[in-house]
Amino acid sequence: MRVHLCAMGRLRAGPERTLLDDYLNRFDRTGRGLGLGPVTEHEVADRKGGGMASEAEGLRRAIPKGAKICVMDERGKVMTSPKFATLLGDWRDQGCSDVAFVIGGADGIAPDLRAQADFKLSFGQMVWPHMLVRVMLAEQLYRAASILAGGPYHRV
């Protein structure tokens, strides 16, 4: 199952980029034998003044046709790491070939794109910087692959 990170804005060189690359590489290595990955990043240009509707159009273009859509949204489901791993494994086992994790801009995801989602995932009720959410999601993808591979999740 190919994984797509569809996100607003460009993540430039710096600590977040370094962490993101590290976790995505770990996920690709761990997930390969499990039928998970590779991960492809789709960075959507952040055009000022377009608003959420414009962002949603850009994000829609980044989502591969037929992909399961999982939006990162504060109103989404909060999960434990083992339950997230189970969810990924279930999607894979059900024959899902692509899953797109969608991360909106500073104002979130437009309601019509959110309504289109197959799943809404939340990292809690706190607001997180959208660039940091990429790193957190990448870490959880790696952790999920480690759990599915039989590793002790608290040690990854």
pLDDT of residue 49: 72
Average pLDDT of 76-88? 96
- With cut-offs at 50, 70 and 90, classify the pLDDT of residue 155: low
Range of the domain at 117: 2-155
- With cut-offs at 50, 70 and 90, classify the pLDDT of residue 108: confident
pLDDT in tens, 13-58: 899 999 999 999 999 999 999 999 999 999 998 777 778 888 999 9
In total, how many domains does the chain have? 1
| Residue of 156 and 90 predicted with greater confidence | 90
pLDDT of residue 125: 86
Question: Which whole-number Å values give the CA distances from 31 to 2, 52, 150, in the listed order?
Answer: 10, 33, 12
Three-class SS state of 128: coil
For the chain, give the percent of residues with pLDDT over 90: 76
List the CATH number of the domain containing 54. 3.40.1280.10
pLDDT of residue 153: 64
